[in-house]
Amino acid sequence: MNDIIKYGRNFMAISNIIEANCHKHWLLQLFLSSKKELNIEINGKHIACSAILVNMDTQHTFNTEGEPHFTMLVDPTTDLGCVMRGLLKGQPFYIFPGEKINVMQPAFKNVLEQKSHDAILSFAQSITFQFDYSNMKIFSDRVIKVLNHLDDCVHEVEFHQIKYFSKKIGLSESRLAHLFKEETGIPLKSYIVLHKLQRVYESIFNGENITTAALNVGFNSSSHFAYTNKMMTGMSATNIIRDSEFLKVF
């Protein structure tokens, strides 16, 4: 079973059933083991560690092998994402030092023993406190407006088109796309797809079926959503939904 927590624009999960094929996405991803080293490959190379942060647009595979693990998918435009990118410094991954693991791993084991929703949510928050936010990057007003407009949207398909933001911000589509990529490191078109995936999962966990949720945010069909999800997570959306419990939206 997956316990999934939505934390702003970030998602966290505790699971022992993840078998992700080789994939990459425009999110940062943190992995933390409960016992032995992670079974993870990055750019085709096995990395020996207990906790690691994988950069966006980086090929990786992961398998829990039946052991509970914690993982966090982090939107690079969030405060947490900006801080994590500072740790990565453009490298494909960052291995957490022993002093951080000695804090995070015992806390994770404690959560597994308690098995309560409150304990899981408290642990999820504690992970975000392991980072230094003092030198966080600040985006320009125009990029912040794009992010705020996306946060405010619900189902309207027009919100998920670059031309919509171009009119709202007062820049040409090409200039806006260049500005967004320059400041965030993510193509605006790819970020919109990420946002659509987030909205689909939010709707599904609020009771909508996959087809309705996918069509409402602008995917051409449920199969289009399923293909996009598989490419970006390495897993089947149907399996993720079937095996998951959605705990709380912060």
Write the DSSP string, the chain: -EEEEEETTEEEEEES--EEEEE--SSEEEEEESSS---EEETTEE---SEEEEPTT--EEEE-TTS-EEEEEE-TTSHHHHHHHHHHTT-SEEEPPHHHHHHHHHHHHHHHHH--HHHHHHHHHHHHTTS--TT-----HHHHHHHHHHHH-SS-GGGGSHHHHHHHHTS-HHHHHHHHHHHHSS-HHHHHHHHHHHHHHHHHHTT--HHHHHHHTT-SSHHHHHHHHHHHHSS-HHHHHHTEEEEEE-
In this prediction, residue 157 carries a pLDDT of 55
pLDDT at site 246? 59
In this model, does residue 247 exceed pLDDT 60? Answer: no
238 and 147, same domain (yes or no): yes
- Using pLDDT thresholds of 50, 70 and 90, give the confidence band for residue 250: very low
* Whether residue 29 sits in one domain with residue 122: yes
pLDDT above 60: residue 62: yes
In a domain, 134, yes or no: no
Shared domain check, 111 and 191: no
Same domain for 11 and 119, yes or no, is: yes
Token digits of residue 113: 């023993």
Both 10 and 93 in one domain: the answer is yes
Domain span at residue 13?
Answer: 2-128
Indicate if the pLDDT at residue 216 is higher than 50. yes
Q: Is residue 120 part of a domain?
A: yes
pTM, 2 dp? 0.89
By DSSP bridging, strand 244-249 and strand 45-46 are unpaired
Q: Are residues 93 and 152 in the same domain?
A: no
* Domain end position, chosen among 128, 155, 180: 128
Residue 135 lies in a domain: no
Residue whose entry in the numeric block shows the structure tokens 């699971």: 15
- Is the pLDDT reported for residue 244 higher than 90? no
Residues 109 and 159 in one domain: no
Beta bridge partners of 63: 19
**Judgement on whether residues 123 and 145 belong to the same structural domain of the protein:** no
Whether residues 169 and 241 share a domain: the answer is yes
Same domain, 7 and 121: yes
pLDDT at 47 over 90: yes
pLDDT tens digits, residue range 116-165? 878 888 888 899 999 999 888 789 999 999 998 888 775 555 567 888 88
Asked if residue 73 and residue 183 are part of one domain, the reply reads no
CATH of the domain at 69: 2.60.120.10
